[in-house]
Amino acid sequence: MFLGVDGGGTKTAFCMVDRSGQVVARAQAASSYYFSHGIELVERVLKEGVEAVCAAADLAPADIDYAFFGLPGYGEAARDLPVLNATPRAVLGHDRYACDNDMVCGWAGSLGAVDGINVISGTGSMTYGERLGRGVRIGGWSEMFGDEGSAHWIAIRGLNAFSRMSDGRLPEGPLAEVFRRHLQLASDLDVIDVVHNQWQGDRSRIAALSRPVAEAAGLGDAVATEILTDAGRELALLVGVTRERLEFGPDETVPVSYSGGTFGARMVLEAFTSALQHRSTRYELRRPLYEPVVGAALYAAKLAGTPLDQPALDALRMASETPASGEDDR
């Protein structure tokens, strides 16, 4: 029995998979992104989720052969690693687990844990790739000065466009009215109260404004369309640099997949695909095989030295929903 945990900026997903490739149970808990709320948050969220998934499976934590915890922010503050590495022990009551950044879940799920590159774009963005046992991460520098192409990045650019349209610094397009309606603004300046006072700058609530930007683009707003197109190009740039860092040869065709809710916006995926196709090196774009939380469970089995065999993988593939437009995030 293998437990996969995929943390994110919006939620934390839990999935129990057995040797035959059957998803035995699932559960969901709050975000485990602790930078804004303190590292104690991680144990609370993991405890809640592990208890829920074990109850759904009618199992105890001791029955879990191995677990993999993909945690947002893991590795981004070296002083926190001892606490993060020890936290699952308090939740599971044993040491049969490993921790890493949640980017590994996206890679393992999307590509089935084979050599290649996965790009994640949810609340934040980054790439993770592996080649010949070596892993490389690019991006994920936080919403303050990174995470290009992510939902948060799209939302911030959308808010900026709204303010410029309200002032008259940009011609007003459909985006302005979409934001007014979505945020229920009595006056345009009320957006400051909503984002800073009511939401307290909450990362996930701001990121959710990427959806109104996509809606405005669908209504023909040129600025919103440009924002989504730029997002796709930024994500393709992450992939290109990851390829170089992994030292794939110029003649190698590199498998590439994607995960995260931002790819649910058609214009983002189209721009991303087009940017990859116009590069001088070759890529094979693959639809995600499994969602990230299932990838975490597959990775747990691999780390335990007992990877699922092909019949089990096929069974899991048939049972899993295609996550191309899923809400998983960093």
Q: What is the DSSP string of 216-282?
A: HHHTT-HHHHHHHHHHHHHHHHHHHHHHHHHT--TTPPEEEEEESGGGGSHHHHHHHHHHHHTSSS-
pLDDT tens-digit profile of 107-162?
999 998 889 999 999 888 999 999 998 999 999 998 999 999 999 999 999 999 99
Cβ(113)–Cβ(135) below 8 Å: no
CA distances from 12 to 230, 242, 300, 312 (A): 28, 26, 17, 25
Q: What is the pLDDT of residue 319?
A: 78
Q: What is the dihedral of CA 105, 119, 285, 212, to 10 degrees?
A: 110
Backbone angles phi, psi at 185, to 5 degrees: -85, 125
Q: Who's near 144: CB < 8 A, 6+ residues apart?
A: none
Residue 180's pLDDT band, with cuts at 50, 70 and 90, is very high
Q: Is the pLDDT of residue 323 over 70?
A: no
Backbone angles phi, psi at 31, to 5 degrees: -60, 140
pTM for this predicted structure: 0.81
Percent of the chain's residues with pLDDT above 70: 97
Between CA 112 and CA 66, with CA 106 as vertex, the angle to 5 degrees is: 70
pLDDT tens-digit profile of 130-141?
999 899 999 999
Q: What is the pLDDT of residue 330?
A: 44
What is the DSSP-derived secondary structure letter of residue 159?
Answer: H
Q: Residue 48 and residue 56: Cα distance in Å, rounded?
A: 12
Q: Residue 224 and residue 326: Cα distance in Å, rounded?
A: 21
